[in-house]
Amino acid sequence: MKKRSSLRPVAFVALASAQVCVFSAALNGCDDGIPGALIPKDSGRSDVSNPDGAGGDGGVDADGPFVPPASVCSPTAKWGTGTLVPNVSTAQTDRFGAITQDQLTIAWMNTAGTVLYADRAAATDPFGAPKTLTGTIALDRVALSANGLTLIVVRSDRLIFAEATRSARGTAFGNTLDTAPFASLDPLSSGTEDAGDAGGGSFADPVLSNDGKFLYYSVLGGSSTTMAESYRSGNNPWTKGRIFTIAELTGSGNKLRRPTGLSADNRTLFYWDEVDGVEKMAFREDAILAGHNVYMQFVNVGAYAGAQPAANCQRIYYDAPGSVGATDLFYADTN
């Protein structure tokens, strides 16, 4: 497998160093409407706010072995040689954005700054002719809702996300980019940030959970770079994001750990590690709902940059050096 192309770090190093972002490490007691980890009723756990899992009475032994949950994605999963996704890659450098977990809608961006997306009737069919979405959109990852009817992008000023919608698969997304659902994430409108809230920087890498309840993204600042997590209930706006402080998921200087995908059961987070130059998976121990600091196991996936899993986690989609353009879209199946 060839090394990862330089598209991602080249596109963002200057941005990360140019922004100023100040974070507080005091996450506990932050009343921002995001639920913590949902713990089984009789688990006896009392350490859900402790990032490393060390607890008081009834807590998890920090020195004990990590026992992964019965998750859709396996920590021992290995994916094979990639196959070019037919009909979608362009002659330009293509950056994979998202695929619905039923594999019926795919979206990505090329270096011309155009969002492209395509649909198909079955996961075994080739994708139809790509459609495009243009506007005040930054060259970045895009995210899709599970039904393929909502597309989330990064606005060109990188201060907020925006979404486009459509009525049915196979139709075009409207040109209206709605920022209202993300208003609480906008550092220009959020005022003074509560301890542990994400704000004051610029945003990148939106990743939407299959159930539509959780949004993961990167927060970029002059000296601080990290992931954040936001929650929404129903059609309510996204809550103010909370930052990750766990060392394995925060950045180092201008090198980030960027969220790229999430398993169907919300227990496995895929992310591109710019520090180590490899795609990785992070596993939560026993959380059913997301918890931004409860990841306990970290596994190298390989040179599958931007990987996002299908529903059964037996296939991942990603971008890599290709034959159509400098970087193309691929999929790989488990061995």
Band (pLDDT 50/70/90 cuts) for residue 112 is confident
* 3-state class (DSSP) for residue 13: helix
**Size (the chain), residues:** 335
H and E: helices and strands count for the chain: 1, 19
- CATH topology for 7-42+79-333 is Neuraminidase (2.120.10)
Name the residue ranges covered by the structural domains of the chain. Answer: 7-42+79-333
From CA 287, how far away is CA 54, in angstroms rounded? 15
pLDDT of residue 198: 53
Token pair of 202, please?
Answer: 């610029």
Q: Contact at 8 Å (CB) between 21 and 198?
A: no
- What number of other Cβ atoms are within 10 A of residue 83's Cβ? 11
* 142 Cβ contact partners less than 8 Å away, ≥ 6 residues apart: 97, 98, 107, 108, 109, 115, 151, 152, 153, 154, 206
pLDDT digits (tens, 9 = 90+) for 31-75: 333 333 332 222 333 233 333 333 333 334 455 555 555 689 999
Find, among 66, 147, 163, the residue nearest to 115 by Cα: 163
pLDDT of residue 22: 24
Q: How far from chain centre, in Å, is Cα 209?
A: 8
- Is residue 118 predicted with pLDDT exceeding 90? yes
DSSP class of residue 10 equals H
Distances (CA, A) of 104 to 20, 178, 311: 39, 24, 11
Q: Contact at 8 Å (CB) between 201 and 20?
A: yes
Q: Where is pLDDT greater, at 81 or 289?
A: 81
pLDDT digits (tens, 9 = 90+) for 250-284: 888 778 899 999 999 888 999 999 999 999 999 98
Which amino acid, 221? Answer: G
For the chain, helix, strand, coil in percent to 5 are: 5, 35, 60
- Is residue 202 predicted with pLDDT exceeding 50? yes
- Is residue 79 predicted with pLDDT exceeding 60? yes
Could you tell me where the beta strands, DSSP code E, fall in the chain? 83-84, 94-99, 105-110, 115-119, 131-133, 143-144, 150-154, 161-165, 202-208, 214-220, 225-231, 242-243, 257-262, 268-273, 278-284, 295-302, 308-309, 315-321, 327-333
